[in-house]
């Protein structure tokens, strides 16, 4: 399979292990998909079913087999709240509880095998103190690959403990943490290592599989829309790349409209879309409960904007009240616990049906990107009763 | 489908919504499986694939579709540690993070549909402050069924918040919490409600699907052994029931040996097996890190003992050091985060290969029953560096 890097924006082809084009935009991998059809899916576990579309041929066993193939569930209980036909793609059912496992699995499989696109000495790094750190460290452990995780100096102990389970080298970096993301990508080639940051070519290839699974589940139809919580724009880039590869190969006829959703307090992509700009600029973001998607300067923001424009969707923002209400509704009506950032997907669908961008009869896939079981939500209100009152209280309640 | 309750121990048939036989042992449902073969599995999501073997025909959509169908992963990286060919069944990839979802989904689907075996006014209760409480509340929310969760008065706030997300009625019970399990089963018929406790007939039917998935993955072969962390004995009962139903129908030729593993500090089933008793008696248990399987008086303990005897397995105990080592090994070598109680499965395999009960060449399925991502593990040790030292430190580490 070809592994040359290409720029979606200026079509440059770069024959080096770079993450960025000379034009400044993020690169992705040229993958040969002229001939893919649904009959070509592999008889393989998890996301490796789509091996014909992925630049890795023989992933390790173990954890790699458990990445992806998450449930896609039609959830009629949410239709009224959302205003459309809701399908939920449950990314929290990945081994480390978030969508990041797809990119980590692809990346570590490539690095472990010394495959062409990895260009690595068999080591991996990442800049994260959240889901990506946990996920990268887990797959590095499973692949037996040395791993370094760069975290901010003030990371809470709880978070550090969760990452520590997988025994990576953790470095707390004292200084401007925001700079590290691009800085490590620049350093990586000289170190002969791969920094598996959020929007690098290998991670994008893994993140394609979210969309591949959604489209296969609907085949020969396609969903009308996919609604995706968005931070760096890496996941949106992977979804877009998968959709265009499927269209090019003839596996789907119509592109679902891709909508990216951000928290209103920190929504640079939605802001750019609203003002009709072609480029996403850095903003001054505020705090939001959806902290894991609060990215004021998304490295693949412009690419995500191109994705929604190309597919006929848009970038929208929802405020913390709407996010909170969607999160509560997911738990109390659908039994699904998601982190606040994931609840933006359902809040986004509601917003888009209210504004008329999505119609009531349309099939919409809301991607819930991470589990809420690791958060501590809700109000711990409970009545205390004595054993002798039990029967009477139960009769009243049940 | 027949829904009569039968006693595995004395063959009594009970035509009432009871959980216990007049002989004192737990009941389960008579299910007609004379004719099941692997070709008969349904084209349905998750665990509903095995609908021909389950007493529920039309589960609701949404969360119910996401229960079960967890990854079964061959994990060569653990063979040396375990001393056999290790396969891990990852029950943490259920929507609420544990195996309990199978029984909750089956139970709430029956209750929601008003199906025969439920005998319910459309309400559910459970006695738990852990995985079972979270799981039951989630599926009750998804089914739109009123739910009451009985918790001990001293439950930590964190736990209460996790359960609260799904909006059940939570009652803190002041008094002997240990008595509540059987007490609620006695009260249930008069309340016309189902207490979906750990070893009741409906939950057992759902828990069968763990074994059905394992056996289908190996078909036409069978694994040599299944190793299961065990508390109440409900899951072990479900696995045993599934295996015997598969054997009776001709879908498998040989029964895998079932081994149940307990924490040494609280191991009444292992103690009974070791002394050659036919009944499990209440013990005085001590504390263990595997707190979620520490049950000093397991309601289906005697049934679990019958299960391991019938299949040629045994009940064993592993101490906290062995559990801790297995938990660390799962995370650092296989990238899998499990709660301490789940790590007993791998510790159990290691113990059983050391004692010669399992051979090096045998295929062993260790069932990891719950995710560890909700725990806070590991030691939060990390070096702090300045940005100017970054390149040098990375070069040293990678």
Query: Using a CB-CB distance cutoff of 8 angstroms, which residues of chain B are in contact with residue A180?
Result: 387, 390
**Mean of the per-residue pLDDT values of chain A:** 94
C-alpha B202/C-alpha A364 separation (Å) is 34
Nearest to A18 by CA among A238, A235, A237, A188: A188
C-alpha A232/C-alpha A134 separation (Å) is 17
Least confident of A183-192, B226-235, B377-386: B377-386
pLDDT score, position A378:
54
CB-based contacts of A41, cutoff 8 Å, min separation 6: A49, A50, A52, A216
A187, closest residue in chain B (CA to CA): B391
Model confidence at B141: pLDDT above 60 = yes
CA distance A276 to chain B (A): 37
Question: Span B145-152, mean pLDDT?
Answer: 95
Out of A32-46, A353-367, A382-396, the most confident range is: A353-367
Of A97, A137, A139, the CB nearest to B373: A97
Tokens of A88: 């939920």
DSSP 8-state symbol, B67: S
Share of chain A above pLDDT 70, in %: 97
Model confidence at A55: pLDDT above 70 = yes
pLDDT score, position B385:
83
C-alpha B169/C-alpha B158 separation (Å) is 17
Share of chain A above pLDDT 90, in %: 81
C-alpha A195/C-alpha A126 separation (Å) is 5
Cross-chain residue pair B394–A134, CB shorter than 8 Å = no
Model confidence at B268: pLDDT above 90 = yes
Query: Using a CB-CB distance cutoff of 8 angstroms, which residues of chain B are in contact with residue A151?
Result: 382
A388, closest residue in chain B (CA to CA): B175
Question: Span B23-45, mean pLDDT?
Answer: 92
Cross-chain residue pair A191–B146, CB shorter than 8 Å = no
Query: Using a CB-CB distance cutoff of 8 angstroms, which residues of chain A are in contact with residue B90?
Result: 66, 95
Of B174, B183, B394, the CB nearest to A187: B394
The model's confidence at residue B177, banded by pLDDT at 50, 70 and 90, is: confident
Helix B340-354 vs helix B320-334: crossing angle, to nearest 10:
100
Of B141, B150, B161, the CB nearest to A335: B141
Cross-chain residue pair B142–A331, CB shorter than 8 Å = no
By the 10 Å C-beta count (0-12 exposed, 13-18 middle, 19+ buried), B344 is classed as buried
Of A45, A153, A161, the CB nearest to B384: A153
Mutation to test the A interface, candidates B62, B111, B166, most A Cβ within 10 Å: B62
C-alpha A120/C-alpha A300 separation (Å) is 23
Q: Is the peptide bond before B341 cis (omega within 30 degrees of 0)?
A: no
Cross-chain residue pair B141–A395, CB shorter than 8 Å = no
**Can you tell me whether residue B232 is helix, strand or coil?**
coil
Query: Using a CB-CB distance cutoff of 8 angstroms, which residues of chain A are in contact with residue B179?
Result: 387
The ipTM of this complex is 0.95
C-alpha B177/C-alpha A96 separation (Å) is 34
Of A65, A73, A398, the CB nearest to B63: A73
Question: Span B183-196, mean pLDDT?
Answer: 91
Give phi and psi for B386, each to the nearest 5. -95, 160
The model's confidence at residue B394, banded by pLDDT at 50, 70 and 90, is: confident
Over chain A, what HEC string results? CCCCEEECCCCCEECCCCCECCCCCEEEECCCCCCCCHHHCCCCCHHHHHHHHCCCCCCCCCHHHHCCCCCEEECHHHHHHHCCEEEEEEHHHCCCCECHHHHHHHHHHHHHHCCHHHCCCCCEEEECCCHHHHHHHHHHHHHCCCEEEEEECCCCHHHHHHHHCCCCEEEEEECCHHHHHHHHHHHHHHHCCEECCCCCHHHHHHHHHHHHHHHHHHCCCCCCEEEEECCCCHHHHHHHHHHHHHHHHCCCCCCCEEEEEEEHHHCHHHHHHHCCCCCCCCCCCCCCCCHHHCCCCCCCHHHHHHHHHHHCCCEEEECHHHHHHHHHHHHHHHCCCECHHHHHHHHHHHHHHHCCCCCCCCEEEEEECEECCCCCCCCCCCEEEEHHHHHHHHHHHC
The model's confidence at residue B382, banded by pLDDT at 50, 70 and 90, is: confident
Nearest to A199 by CA among A95, A297, A75: A297
Of A66, A123, A180, the CB nearest to B398: A123
Question: Span B338-356, mean pLDDT?
Answer: 98
Question: Span A373-385, mean pLDDT?
Answer: 70
Cross-chain residue pair B170–A381, CB shorter than 8 Å = yes
Query: Using a CB-CB distance cutoff of 8 angstroms, which residues of chain B are in contact with residue A90?
Result: 66, 95
Tokens of B2: 């027949």
- Judge contact between A183 and A24, C-beta under 8 A: no
pLDDT score, position B350:
98
Helix A320-334 vs helix A340-354: crossing angle, to nearest 10:
100
CA distance A305 to chain B (A): 31
pLDDT score, position B374:
79
DSSP for B348-397, written as a single string: HHHHHHHTTSS-TT-EEEEEE-BBSTTS--S----EEEEGGGHHHHHHHH
Per-residue pLDDT tens over the stretch A250-264: 999 999 999 999 999
Give phi and psi for B72, each to the nearest 5. -115, 110
Mutation to test the B interface, candidates A89, A140, A165, most B Cβ within 10 Å: A165
Q: Which uninterrupted H or E stretch holds B148?
A: strand B147-152
Per-residue pLDDT tens over the stretch A4-37: 899 999 999 998 888 999 999 999 999 877 789 9
pLDDT score, position A24:
95
CA distance A28 to chain B (A): 24
Query: Using a CB-CB distance cutoff of 8 angstroms, which residues of chain A are in contact with residue B337?
Result: 95-96, 138, 162, 165-166
Of A143, A161, A390, the CB nearest to B377: A161
The model's confidence at residue B118, banded by pLDDT at 50, 70 and 90, is: confident
A101, closest residue in chain B (CA to CA): B335
**Mean of the per-residue pLDDT values of chain B:** 94
Per-residue pLDDT tens over the stretch A191-202: 888 999 999 999
Cross-chain residue pair A164–B379, CB shorter than 8 Å = yes
Question: Span A159-171, mean pLDDT?
Answer: 93
Query: Using a CB-CB distance cutoff of 8 angstroms, which residues of chain A are in contact with residue B92?
Result: 95
pLDDT score, position A224:
98
Cross-chain residue pair B46–A71, CB shorter than 8 Å = yes
Query: Using a CB-CB distance cutoff of 8 angstroms, which residues of chain B are in contact with residue A192?
Result: 398
CB atoms near residue A221 (< 10 Å): 12
C-alpha B338/C-alpha B366 separation (Å) is 12
Tokens 């929290």 sit at which residue? A92
A82: left (phi over 0), alpha (psi -120 to 50) or beta: alpha
B373, closest residue in chain A (CA to CA): A374
Distance of CA A88 to the CA centre of its chain: 14
Per-residue pLDDT tens over the stretch A93-117: 999 999 999 999 999 999 988 776 6
Cross-chain residue pair B382–A170, CB shorter than 8 Å = yes
Of B77, B166, B384, the CB nearest to A331: B166
Question: Span B301-325, mean pLDDT?
Answer: 98
Query: Using a CB-CB distance cutoff of 8 angstroms, which residues of chain B are in contact with residue A138?
Result: 331, 335-337
Cross-chain residue pair B394–A148, CB shorter than 8 Å = yes
Give phi and psi for A52, each to the nearest 5. -60, -20
CB-based contacts of B105, cutoff 8 Å, min separation 6: B46, B47, B59, B63, B64, B67, B68, B139, B206
């Amino acid at each position: 399979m070809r592994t040359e890097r290409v720029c979606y924006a200026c079509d440059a082809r770069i024959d080096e292990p770079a993450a960025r084009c000379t034009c400044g935009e993020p690169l992705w991998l040229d993958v040969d998909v002229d001939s893919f059809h649904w009959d070509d899916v592999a008889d393989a576990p998890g996301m490796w079913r789509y091996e014909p579309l992925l630049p890795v041929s023989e992933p390790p066993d173990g954890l790699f087999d458990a990445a992806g193939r998450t449930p896609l569930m039609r959830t009629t209980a949410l239709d009224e709240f959302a205003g459309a036909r809701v399908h939920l793609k449950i990314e929290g059912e990945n081994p480390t509880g978030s969508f990041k496992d797809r990119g980590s699995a692809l990346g570590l499989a490539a690095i472990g095998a010394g495959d062409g696109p990895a260009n690595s000495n068999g080591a991996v790094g990442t800049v994260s103190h959240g889901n990506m750190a946990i996920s990268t460290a887990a797959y590095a452990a499973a692949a037996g690959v040395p791993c370094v995780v760069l975290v901010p100096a003030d990371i809470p102990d709880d978070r550090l403990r969760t990452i520590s389970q997988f025994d990576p080298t953790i470095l707390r970096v004292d200084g401007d943490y925001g700079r590290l993301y691009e800085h490590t990508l620049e350093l990586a080639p000289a170190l002969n290592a791969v920094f598996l940051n959020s929007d690098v070519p290998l991670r994008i290839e893994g993140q394609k599989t979210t969309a591949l699974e959604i489209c296969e589940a609907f085949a020969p139809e396609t969903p009308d829309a996919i609604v995706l919580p968005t931070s760096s724009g890496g996941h949106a880039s992977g979804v877009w790349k998968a959709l265009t590869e499927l269209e090019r190969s003839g596996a789907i006829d119509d592109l679902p409209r891709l909508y990216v959703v951000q928290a209103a307090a920190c929504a640079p992509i939605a802001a750019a879309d609203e003002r009709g700009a072609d480029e996403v600029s850095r903003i001054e973001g505020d705090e939001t409960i959806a902290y894991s998607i609060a990215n004021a300067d998304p490295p693949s923001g412009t690419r995500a904007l191109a994705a929604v424009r190309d597919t006929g969707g848009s970038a929208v923002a929802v405020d913390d009240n709407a996010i909170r209400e969607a999160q509560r509704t997911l738990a109390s009506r659908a039994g699904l616990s998601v982190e606040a950032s994931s609840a933006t997907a359902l809040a986004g669908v509601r917003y888009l049906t209210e504004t008329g961008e999505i119609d009531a009869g349309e099939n919409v896939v809301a991607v819930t990107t991470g589990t809420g079981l690791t958060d501590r939500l809700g109000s711990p209100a409970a009545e205390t009763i004595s054993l002798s009152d039990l029967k009477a209280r139960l009769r009243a309640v049940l």
